Copies of this chain bind each other. A is one copy, B any other.
Amino acid sequence: MGIHSVVLIGAGRVATQLGLTFVRHQIPVLQVYSRTAASASALAKTTGSDFTDDLSNLNQQADLYIISVTDDSIIQIVNQLNLENKTVAHTSGSVPLEILAPVTASYGVFYPLNTFSKDKAIDFANTPFCIEASDPQTEHKLLQLARLISSDVRLINSQQRAVIHLAAVFACNFTNFMMVNADEILRNQGISHNILLPLINETISKLIAISPKEAQTGPALRNDREIIKKHLEMLATDPDKKMLYQLISEQIQTYFSKEK
> A: which residues have CB within 8 A of B?
13, 70-72, 94, 113-117, 119-120, 122-123, 126-128, 152, 154, 160, 162-183, 185-186, 189, 191, 193, 195-204, 206-222, 224, 226-227, 230-231, 234-235, 240, 243-245, 247-248, 251-252, 254-255
Q: How far is the CB of A135 from chain B (nearest CB, A)?
A: 24
Q: Which residue of B162, B166, B231, B243 is within 8 Å of A169 (Cβ)? A: B231
- How many angstroms from the CA of A224 to the CA of B165 in the assembled complex? 14
Residue in A167, A181, A216, A221 with the greatest tally of chain B CB atoms within 10 Å = A167
If A119-B214, A186-B163, A207-B179 touch, whether A245 touches B199 (CB-CB below 8 Å) is no
Q: Which residue of B162, B169, B175 is within 8 Å of A175 (Cβ)? A: B175
If A71-B226, A206-B115, A230-B94 touch, whether A252 touches B198 (CB-CB below 8 Å) is no
* Residues of the B chain whose Cβ atoms lie less than 8 Å from the Cβ of A202: 114-115, 122-123, 172
* Residues of the B chain whose Cβ atoms lie less than 8 Å from the Cβ of A185: 163, 166-167, 170
Residue in A128, A181, A211 with the greatest tally of chain B CB atoms within 10 Å = A181
If A178-B175, A224-B70, A248-B174 touch, whether A117 touches B219 (CB-CB below 8 Å) is no
A167:B180 contact, CB within 8 angstroms: no
If A72-B226, A120-B209 touch, whether A191 touches B160 (CB-CB below 8 Å) is yes
A127:B177 contact, CB within 8 angstroms: no
A166:B234 contact, CB within 8 angstroms: yes
Q: Which residue of B71, B176, B221, B231 is within 8 Å of A217 (Cβ)? A: B176
- How many angstroms from the CA of A218 to the CA of B178 in the assembled complex? 14
A177:B217 contact, CB within 8 angstroms: no
* Residues of the B chain whose Cβ atoms lie less than 8 Å from the Cβ of A195: 113, 128, 154, 164
Q: How far is the CB of A99 from chain B (nearest CB, A)?
A: 12
CB nearest to A204 among chain B residues: B204
A255:B240 contact, CB within 8 angstroms: yes
* Residues of the B chain whose Cβ atoms lie less than 8 Å from the Cβ of A72: 224, 226
CB nearest to A124 among chain B residues: B198
